[in-house]
Amino acid sequence: MVSPKRSNPVEVAGEIEKAVVRRDLSGRILRKYFGFARGRWYGGSFAAYVIGCNLDCAFCWAWFKDSYDAGVYLSPEDVVERLISAGRTLGIRTLRISGGEPTIGFDYLIQVLKLFTKKTDSMNLVVETNGILIGAKKTLASELGEFSGRNVIVRISVKGANPETFSTLTGYPSEYFDYQLNSIRNIIEAGYVPGRTLLVAVMSSFNTSKQIAEFIYQLTKIDSTLAGSIELEIVKMYRNVERKLRARGIVPYRYLNNRFSVT
């Protein structure tokens, strides 16, 4: 139904949107979710996992992101209610939208954020994104800017520290690496603050220390404060991740084994 091995991740996002976003008979916009789960990230959080991603990263743990025949369609009201209810029940203040790519079906995402910020100011909602669409369309960052001073956090995860690694990991042309950097620039211009309402991470397992240092220096040209808040992600060798990496002939410089120790 959706081929992740196209040459343009922006176009692929458009194709995926047709598979995971629809309207019900009353006209309400719905998006497909695989499920909800509690996690250890951010010191304890609760996440809504969306189906559908415009990248096909070799290290991705979210095996369900391409399960277009699975999951359930939820309205913005449904997902916000589930997130806030779980947060209150579990005593968790950090909620997430993750798994696939949340910016696919952007109008839906904006409705979720509007509802969330209206219903609570005691919890934070982290939108975990690869940034491709935000980097391709500056107007998306402008729309997200409406929530920049509120309880919405944008986390952009960069896939590798340079264009070559990005291409190796995602299967897309190296030129789209810059879309991720553009997304960081656009989000900052929209009012998000690095280290506070903007979190930037880079998958560092597949680059040398020198390449990572060069990447961090590149970020300082966007905003000098980014260097102090960059998160260096390390791939965890889940079984499905190990299989994918082996199938593509990709070997990490460093990784987390099943006991979470660095190798």
- As given in the structure block, the two tokens for residue 94 are 């950090």
Q: Tell me what pLDDT residue 233 has.
A: 97
Q: DSSP of 17-52, one letter per residue?
A: HHHHEEE-TT--EEEEEEEEEEESGGGSEEEEEE--
Is 70 exceeded by the pLDDT of residue 259? Answer: no
Q: Tell me what pLDDT residue 257 has.
A: 87
What band does 6 get if pLDDT is binned at 50, 70 and 90?
Answer: low
The continuous run of DSSP H or E covering 202 comes out as strand 198-203
Is 50 exceeded by the pLDDT of residue 263? Answer: no
**Helices of type H across the chain:** 9-20, 76-90, 106-119, 132-136, 138-144, 163-170, 177-189, 209-220, 239-248
Question: Can you tell me the distance from the alpha carbon of 131 to that of 179, in angstroms, rounded to the nearest whole number?
Answer: 7
The phi and psi torsions of 234 (rounded to 5 degrees) equal -125, 130
Residue 198 sits in which domain range? 9-248
Q: Tell me what pLDDT residue 258 has.
A: 62
The CATH code of the domain that includes 41 is 3.20.20.70
Is 80 exceeded by the pLDDT of residue 3? Answer: no
Residue 204, in any domain of the structure: yes
Q: Tell me what pLDDT residue 104 has.
A: 98
Residue 96, in any domain of the structure: yes
Q: Parallel, antiparallel, or unpaired for β 231-233 and 21-23? A: unpaired
Question: Can you tell me the distance from the alpha carbon of 51 to that of 139, in angstroms, rounded to the nearest whole number?
Answer: 24
119-148: pLDDT as tens digits: 999 999 999 999 999 999 999 999 999 999
Residue 260, in any domain of the structure: no
Is 90 exceeded by the pLDDT of residue 168? Answer: yes
Residue 256, in any domain of the structure: no
Residue 258, in any domain of the structure: no
Q: Tell me what pLDDT residue 249 has.
A: 97
CA dihedral sign, ordered 45, 50, 56, 62: positive
* DSSP, res 171: S
Q: What is the mean pLDDT of the chain?
A: 95
Residue 60, in any domain of the structure: yes
Residue 238, in any domain of the structure: yes
Q: pTM for the whole thing?
A: 0.94
27-66: pLDDT as tens digits: 999 999 999 999 999 999 999 999 999 999 999 999 999 9
User: What is the percentage of the chain residues whose pLDDT exceeds 90?
Assistant: 95
Number of structural domains (the chain) is: 1
Residue 182, in any domain of the structure: yes
